[in-house]
Structure 1
């Protein structure tokens, strides 16, 4: 019997699990009815007791070795739902599929535990591979994912959660809604929750100790690509006591586990109760990344990733609409970007995207095999350059993107004159959309990309 000290008294894990399970079932019923219109079938007491016993049996080796925390076991191993799927038999299915992997022998140390976790992940690499999503993967059961054998990072992460949780190991999904410095969709990966710390990995792809979700590639000489920066990183935590709502998902804000953060404070635009959000500009549109909290006459956005540009927006029938001045979040002092129509500058552009974006596009086009044949850290090798006799446009942000001027490229550099200072800018070919451009600032004849 595992005894847990909590609330000033000893409680067994069974007692804690029984109480928590009732909360979980109530939560799941309400969630499925509200967001999917599904009435979850009732489970009998014997079925619920069987689920608890399976969980306790699986988790006991790690709890007895003081490697994981009881709260994480209750929040991330006990629940039957993984993401939005309804599946009551996945624990037995996982154990049958992974029965060839033996538990560590003797005293279980953190080293032997992590080795075991990586052995499990090595097995998953042979079971599911990456592929673009072609359906709502969040509702797929373990058997559906197993039969399909492929899926996006969401599917791979869910499949990994099923597999580790069946073994009593608290693993969850961390995700970013969108990368703050790239024209790219968001990303999801896994996080192993140890006692007192946690470690990232990409389920079915990269092991614990080998994975950094912010890095696109590692070269043979050990150097890494320019980092992709998240505006926010959230942890799926539907049953945690401190979870917050993010468009229907219960999450924890763990951005500061990955990058430097700061708080953005915005003067309340008006006195109504319409929520204010922060968005990034990516792939030609605004993507909401954070919900503000009104404190007196200000709206606060805590733990925002630094060195990124944010746009205050409100939602008009689910579409983000800019309502305030862009803010560049810094480690110390944030910067607002209001165009100065009285202070004009000349902007010189000799490359059209930031290095991180150029690296991503290069890898998408050429793969990883020829990285040593170029200078991967040279913007002129991997970033697109102005094309001779192509017409380019300069835009600046003033309550929306405003076109400033056009010119035909006649050399390696585009020179735009008489441009309002202290603004966010975009440069794009006149024949192209905003989808593949990135915002930048211009100070001291230097471009800073966002």
Structure 2
């Protein structure tokens, strides 16, 4: 079969299965029986059996439009709505609001949408050589998967398959004719597809939260979370297994981030060049298949305390810190014995310590935290009802994996030339503004060292400060959320 005909046939099959109007509530058992009768449908059978299992244990958040006056739901075709401005006008003019409900996937997924994913899976496995290096778990979890986590399953695969068809034909032709134009390493193609995904939407700092594809397509605007979803959709639609990797809290700077990882030439999901999450305290990967770490391993240990790591509680996160950055295990000896079964490891974020991961406590006073990012400040904590309490002292996990404590040396004073409040481009000290320099003491509290007035942009000089400390420079009158801790060495601020 010619390349053009092969692509056209695949498009036709996916288009037909996507556009017919089958009622929700899949008859997945009938599909399994039908595929089982034909040896040539072995890949479809494999996909159908997997999806049957997942439909019985997965739930999604479904959005619907609700008329506040009539109290009834309203059908809205988002393809007719012009962006977020048009959506806002629609809501106001028709007195609508957007509501959400959580439903089992077996009640949401239609037979036709399931068939779309099943047919595409067979096409990807037969067409692309890189998928033959991946294990079945990877292919099912990151290629066949019909969603990233809990967004409503919708027709993103069909949409992007059509969007990419010209590029798809070029890559397939290169492989079939052995032109060597496209490397058989899927990362080479993934990088090009990520550029296409980036051009599909406009970045906006405002958080979009979780939204389904039809709403994404309507707005085409959002933060890194939306952008990563689009990237995953684009890569999976092309036939490259892809995952959403995320940093809940950097630890080395304020905030978090989301990126896309993809299948590499060795058949493993790895960071795409240019999309690494380096220097993070913790990196997680969203798994379509539930991992049940919270349910099986953590929940039984919590007693009456509330577990604070929501990204772990949903049981779809895998720890992939070592995939993106240098990592090491941390053992912390607690200052006193405790009957708690777990401890938290915290990082500094927006002016306060926040839990980023957990570890088991052994022998009543020894906590171990697995695979933590290096060159990051940490502080251990214990669960305390609905919160936590810090324990011991903060420390740096250096690039060699050693714990470095900060003990200010008041006998050996030092001068400092300070220039910034954090690593951001807008964080330079400014002439005419006043600042306070703090140093962390042995109890883990910020101790006020000096009040400073800046008389020259980007330069703030201070003398006779204790050396070897952990410092923080805060602008007076500000909220104190953006300023980051730093050390001082060789006449430079060293940021953590």
TM-score (norm 2): 0.67
CA RMSD of aligned residues (A): 3.6
**Could you say what secondary structure the match of 1:350 adopts?**
strand
Deviations 1:190-223 (A, max 9, x none): 111133444534xxxxxxx4x1445xxxxxxxxx
2:478 corresponds to 1:432? yes
Residue 174 of structure 1, CA deviation: 1.3
Aligned to 1:176: 247
From 233, 237, 244, the equivalent of 1:166 is 237
Whole-angstrom distance in 2 between the partners of 1:117 and 1:447: 38
CA contact (8 A) 1:73 1:168 kept: no
2:487 corresponds to 1:441? yes
2:262 corresponds to 1:192? yes
Aligned to 1:231: 281
Whole-angstrom distance in 1 between the partners of 2:103 and 2:486: 49
CA contact (8 A) 1:395 1:403 kept: yes
Whole-angstrom distance in 1 between the partners of 2:312 and 2:113: 32
Higher helix share: 2
CA 1:169/1:317 → structure 2, altered by over 3 Å: closer, same or farther?
farther
Whole-angstrom distance in 1 between the partners of 2:477 and 2:327: 37
CA 1:337/1:151 → structure 2, altered by over 3 Å: closer, same or farther?
same
Deviations 1:147-204 (A, max 9, x none): 2111101101101212222233211111112222223x21111111133444534xxx
The structure having more radius of gyration, on CA atoms, is 2
Whole-angstrom distance in 1 between the partners of 2:492 and 2:435: 22
CA contact (8 A) 1:142 1:162 kept: no
Listed as ranges, the matches of 1:8-27 within 5 Å are: 12-27=42-57
CA 1:400/1:434 → structure 2, altered by over 3 Å: closer, same or farther?
farther
Deviates more, 1:148-157 or 1:254-263: 254-263
2:201 corresponds to 1:128? yes
2:321 corresponds to 1:277? no
CA 1:334/1:76 → structure 2, altered by over 3 Å: closer, same or farther?
same
CA contact (8 A) 1:77 1:165 kept: yes
CA 1:117/1:298 → structure 2, altered by over 3 Å: closer, same or farther?
same
Aligned to 2:93: none
2:165 corresponds to 1:99? yes
CA contact (8 A) 1:394 1:416 kept: no
Listed as ranges, the matches of 1:224-373 within 5 Å are: 229-239=279-289, 246-248=312-314, 250-268=316-334, 269-273=336-340, 275-296=342-363, 297-314=365-382, 321-332=389-400, 334-337=402-405, 339=407, 344-353=411-420, 357-358=422-423, 360-362=424-426
Residue 78 of structure 1, CA deviation: 1.8
Whole-angstrom distance in 1 between the partners of 2:293 and 2:241: 17
Whole-angstrom distance in 2 between the partners of 1:436 and 1:57: 49
CA 1:80/1:234 → structure 2, altered by over 3 Å: closer, same or farther?
same
Listed as ranges, the matches of 1:371-386 within 5 Å are: 384-385=428-429
CA contact (8 A) 1:337 1:422 kept: no
CA 1:20/1:293 → structure 2, altered by over 3 Å: closer, same or farther?
farther
CA 1:65/1:73 → structure 2, altered by over 3 Å: closer, same or farther?
closer
CA 1:156/1:445 → structure 2, altered by over 3 Å: closer, same or farther?
closer
Aligned to 1:403: 447
Whole-angstrom distance in 2 between the partners of 1:304 and 1:432: 32
Residue 300 of structure 1, CA deviation: 0.8
Whole-angstrom distance in 1 between the partners of 2:401 and 2:159: 53
CA 1:186/1:311 → structure 2, altered by over 3 Å: closer, same or farther?
same
Whole-angstrom distance in 2 between the partners of 1:64 and 1:300: 38
Residue 95 of structure 1, CA deviation: 2.3
2:223 corresponds to 1:152? yes
Aligned to 2:5: none
CA contact (8 A) 2:281 2:373 kept: yes
2:106 corresponds to 1:38? no
Whole-angstrom distance in 1 between the partners of 2:433 and 2:393: 35
Whole-angstrom distance in 2 between the partners of 1:335 and 1:254: 22
Aligned to 1:111: 183
Aligned to 2:16: none
